[in-house]
Amino acid sequence: MDQFVQAVINGIMLGGFYAVMVLGFSIIWGVMGVINLAHGEFIMAGAYTTWFLSKQYGWEPLVSLLVVMIIFFVIGYILQRILINRIIDRPPLISLLITFGLAIIMSNSFKLVFTATPRSVDTLLSGFWRTGNVTVPVTKTTILIVAVLMMAALHLFLQRTRLGKSIRAAAQNREAARIVGIVIAAVYALTFAISISMTGAAGTLISPIQPIYPFMGAVLTLKAFAITAMSGLGSIPGALFGGIVLGLIETFVATYVPGIGTNLGIISSYVILVVVLVVRPQGLFGGLKPVEVR
């Protein structure tokens, strides 16, 4: 029983991280129709930035979060302007190939600069809370709280502000949005910048709990896709649901299938992905097509 409760707690905490990690991916896809295969690499870059700030200046990951978000906002904006904007009107396969190239460039550049040695970030928020035989790690709880706060903030931004509404309008119907005076190029640049900023922040969140290495990205991209397949594009509640489902499945597999460890995490998300795609190609919530950002 304790083992079960422990697995549920761990799964939900992992799921909170997955939910915040997937948002950038599903919003870029939902709003712009660009499938960002370099998504995991941006998470990796965010984690490395946090590691660098922590090692060089001794910053807490939670403090770096804001800095990382600003840095990645700027990077995302520039990248959208010089690269993604060129291919936005071309078939999505072009964007697949471009971001695939980008992913390779990023992971290998980071390997060149930081070597392939796995790194880890220390945080003051370590330790455990203990109730009976169930332990609740403080770091992961903090991550879950921050993740939920970030999602709530993004939700409010998309629902309540003019800019957020224009992003949703552009996702729903680009031509109509243009007609009512929304500058599509600006909205896309903003969308990309916000998404990349969220993605970099996800890297900061993951940095205290997982080893950081240059090739961690591909697995995360795949998980992002599996969650998006479950949750639909751009849906924040859906992302939370999909993230927690994946987190629970991964933890339960790791807990109850002996002798296999965490490698099965990627396999289980892959199985979910293929099963969802084959059984319900439109996604569990009917969202695997560009629809409104909720």
Partner 1 sequence: MVRLVSFWQQYHLGRWALIIVALALFALPLAQIIVPERKLVTNSLLFSFTQMFMLVTMASNWNLTGGYTGYIDFGHAVFFGLGAYGTGVLMAKAGWIFFPSLIVGAIVALIFALLIGSATLRLKGPYFSIAMLGTFVAMREIVRVIKPLTGGGTGLTLPPYLNRPLFYYVTLIQAVIVVVFVWWLIKHTEFGQSLIAIREDEVGAEMRGINATLHKITIFTIAAFSTGLVGGLWAYQNTFIDPDIVFIESRTLDLVMIVMLGGLGTIAGPVLGAVLLYWMRDIIWANFLQFHLIIQGLVLILIVLFLPEGIVGSISDRSGGTTIGRLWGRYFTAEEDTAPEKAEVGP
Q: What is the phi-psi region of residue 226: left when phi exceeds 0, alpha when psi lies from -120 to 50, beta otherwise?
A: alpha
**CB closer to partner 1, 47 vs 224:** 224
Residue of 175, 179, 180, 258 interacting with partner 1 (CB under 8 A)? 175
Q: Stretches 8-16, 47-55, 243-251, 265-273: which one binds partner 1 (CB under 8 A)?
A: 265-273
Residue of 54, 174, 236, 285 interacting with partner 1 (CB under 8 A)? 174
Type of residue numbered 183: V
Can residue 98 be called a binding residue for partner 1 (CB under 8 A)?
Answer: yes
Can residue 78 be called a binding residue for partner 1 (CB under 8 A)?
Answer: no
Residues ≥6 apart with Cβ < 8 Å to 222: 40, 266, 269, 270, 273
**CB closer to partner 1, 28 vs 198:** 28
Terminal alpha carbon distance of the chain? 37
Quick check: 176 and 169 in contact, CB under 8 A? yes
Can residue 100 be called a binding residue for partner 1 (CB under 8 A)?
Answer: yes
Site for partner 1 in 201-240 (CB under 8 A): 215, 218-219, 221-222, 225-226, 229
Nearest to 142 by CA among 159, 158, 129: 129
Q: What is the phi-psi region of residue 122: left when phi exceeds 0, alpha when psi lies from -120 to 50, beta otherwise?
A: beta
Strands (E), the chain: 128-131, 134-137
Where on the chain is the footprint of partner 1 (CB under 8 A)? 30-33, 35, 37, 83, 86-87, 90-94, 96-98, 100-105, 108-109, 112, 170-175, 215, 218-219, 221-222, 225-226, 229, 260, 263-264, 266-267, 269-271, 273-274, 277-278, 281, 288, 290
